[in-house]
Amino acid sequence: MKLLKSVAAAVALCAAVTVHARPLAEVQKDGKILIATEGQFAPFNFFNGTTLTGFEVEVAELVAKKMGLTIQWKTLGFDALLTGLRQDRWDLVIASHGITEERAKAVTFTEPHYCSGGMIIAMDPAIKNAKDLSGKVVAVQTGTSYLENVKKVSSIKEVKNFPTDVDARSALTSRRVDAWVTDRFVAKAVADKNPGAGFKLGDMLFIERIAAAVSKGNTSLAGAWNKALAEVMADGSYAQLSKKYFNEDVRCSN
Ligand code: ARG
C-alpha cells in the first residue's frame, strides 16, 4: 500500500513537472517554440507537397524569428488544436481561429494577425445572402465559427459538418449541399484558382478577428508574441507577405 502510494505520488509529480504551460523564459531557454496548426486551410495554413506553408505559417516564422526562436511545427485536426493547448501539449496554436467569447474562456488569445469573416459560397447565383439560405443545406467545417454563425440563420434547412474545410468544399462541388460558408479569403482563392468551376461568392455573414492562442493565462508568452507581431507589422515584412498572398493588406484596421 505504501509502495503503491509513493508510486502514485511519483506519477503525479512527473505529470505536474512535464505537463504545464511553458512561460516565455522556459521557451527562450529551449530556443524552440512548439506551434500547432492544421495544414488544411489554404491559403492560411496548408501543405505544398510535404512542406507546411501559408500566410499565417509564414507570419509565425517572422514573429518567431523576431523572438529569437525557431519553430517546431505540429499539424493536427482542427478540433484537436485548442484542446491540446489546454493540455499544454504545445506552446501556441495558429490556425485562423476567430476570437470568440467562448474560446476566450478556455485559452488566451494574442493580438489578431488578420481580420476576415465567414462568406457564403454557392454554385447557384441566386444564393447570395443570409435570406437566400432559407430552406437550404449548408456545409461548414466542424468546430468553426462558421458553424456557430450559420446556426443563427433562421429557417435554414440543415447545417452539415465536415472534419476539414476541404471536405465542406467538396460537398458543395458535388452538389450534396446548396452552399458552403468559409473564410472570405479562402473562398476568394478557391474561386480565383478555379475560374471555370462556377463558384459564386456571396455576402459575408459575419466578421471576425483572427488570432493565435496560448494556454490560458500564459501572458509572458502572449506578450512577447504581441511585441514581435507589432514589429513585423511595422517593419514592412508583414505587409510584403500579405501582398504576396492576397494582393492587399489583411491586418485589422482597428
Ligand atoms: N475562422 C474560423 C474559426 O474561427 C475557421 C478556422 C478554420 N481553421 C482551419 N485551420 N481550418 O473557426
- The pLDDT tens digits for 67-126 are 999 999 999 999 999 999 999 999 999 999 999 999 999 999 999 999 999 999 999 999
Q: Where are the alpha helices (DSSP H) in 99-218?
A: 101-106, 145-151, 165-173, 184-193
- CATH for 7-115+210-246 is 3.40.190.10
CA atoms in the 13 A half-sphere facing the CB of 162: 20
Tell how far the Cα of 98 is from the centroid of ligand 1, in angstroms: 7
Give yes or no for residue 183 CB within 6 A of ligand 1. yes
SS3 118: strand
Residues 74, 32 contacting (CB under 8 angstroms): no
* Lateral strand order in the sheet of 45-48: 40-41, 45-48, 51-53
Phi, psi of 233 (to 5 degrees): -75, -25
Side by side, the strands of the sheet bearing 107-122 are 70-75, 32-37, 92-98, 200-215, 107-122, 179-183, 137-141, 158-162
Instruction: Tell me the β-bridge partners of 171.
Output: none
Q: Determine whether domain 116-207 maps to CATH 3.40.640.10.
A: no
Residue with cell 514592412: 236
Q: Is 199 in the pocket of ligand 1 (CB under 6 A)?
A: no
Residue 154 has what pLDDT?
84
Contact 222, 76 (CB under 8 A): no
Which ligand 1 atom is the nearest neighbour of the CA of 39?
Answer: 10
Dist. CA 91 → ligand 1 center (Å): 19
Probe ligand 1: pick from 73, 94, 96, max atoms within 8 Å of CB?
A: 96
- In this prediction, residue 17 carries a pLDDT of 47
Could you tell me if 112 and 214 are in contact, meaning their C-beta atoms sit under 8 angstroms apart?
no
Ligand 1 contact via 67 beta carbon (within 6 Å): no
Write down the pTM of the prediction.
0.92
Query: From atom 10 of ligand 1, which residue's Cα is the shortest distance away?
Result: 95
pLDDT at 254: 77
Which position has the higher pLDDT, 146 or 4? 146
Q: Give 130's DSSP letter.
A: G
SS3 for 79?
A: helix
Q: Between these two residues, 6 and 97, which has the higher pLDDT value?
A: 97
- Does residue 178 line the site of ligand 1, with CB under 6 A? no
Inter-residue contact 66 to 102 (CB < 8 Å): no
Asked if 119 contacts 203 with a C-beta cutoff of 8 angstroms, the reply is yes
> What ligand 1 atom has the least distance to the C-alpha of 38?
10
Distance of CA 118 to the CA centre of its chain: 13
Tens of pLDDT along 124-174?
999 999 999 999 999 999 999 999 999 999 899 999 999 999 999 999 999
* Structural domain boundaries in the chain: 7-115+210-246, 116-207
Q: Is the CB of 82 under 6 A from ligand 1?
A: no
189 pLDDT higher than 70: yes
In order of 3, 40, 111, 161, 172, the CA distances from 53 in angstroms are: 50, 10, 21, 25, 25
Question: 56 in ligand 1 pocket by Cβ < 6 Å?
Answer: no
Higher pLDDT pick, 15 / 40: 40
Average pLDDT score, the chain: 94
Handedness of CA 235, 230, 118, 142 (dihedral sign): positive
Nearest to residue 202, comparing CAs of 179, 225, 219? 179
